[in-house]
Amino acid sequence: MFGRTEVEWQQLQQAAETYLTSVARSRGMTDYSQLNRELTRATGQAPFDFSREADRTAVGRLLGEVSRRSHLEHGVMLSALVTHKNSTNEGAGFYKLAAELGVMPPKPTSDQKLQVMIEQVNKVHATYRS
């Protein structure tokens, strides 16, 4: 998947989930660059190159899979903790998945997006607190 073997992709999923769980336990936030560094450190795999659309898509897919799992298991979107660098905004895929999971309406306003982001971050922190 996305230039990775199935085993490598599974390693990335596990590493992302483990890292985001630790971020949640510390009631923190992270960004795509920090996540990328942690995935590389934890798996030994080459980092994603965010200048390439395919790699940006891959990270979005990876985070989507992590959030689908956390939503199924805990009713929260673990990827809510990942924002763009120097920003508080998640990627567009986060909001698309939130609508798909029924967390927000299919065509949300900016205020609804902000509300969902805040709610999900708070719920993730509460769910994974130490």
Q: pLDDT tens-digit profile of 41-75?
A: 999 999 999 999 999 999 999 999 999 999 999 99
Domain boundaries, the chain: 6-128
Let me know if 8 is exposed, middle or buried by CB neighbors in 10 A (0-12, 13-18, 19+). middle
Element (H, E) at 93: helix 92-100
Give ∠ CA 49-53-58 in degrees, rounded to 5: 70
Token pair listed for 77: 């979107």
Q: What is the pLDDT of residues 4-24, one digit of tens each?
A: 999 999 999 999 999 999 999
Q: Is the sign of the CA dihedral 66, 85, 30, 51 positive or negative?
A: positive
> Would you state the structure tokens that stand for residue 39, as one six-digit string?
């995935």
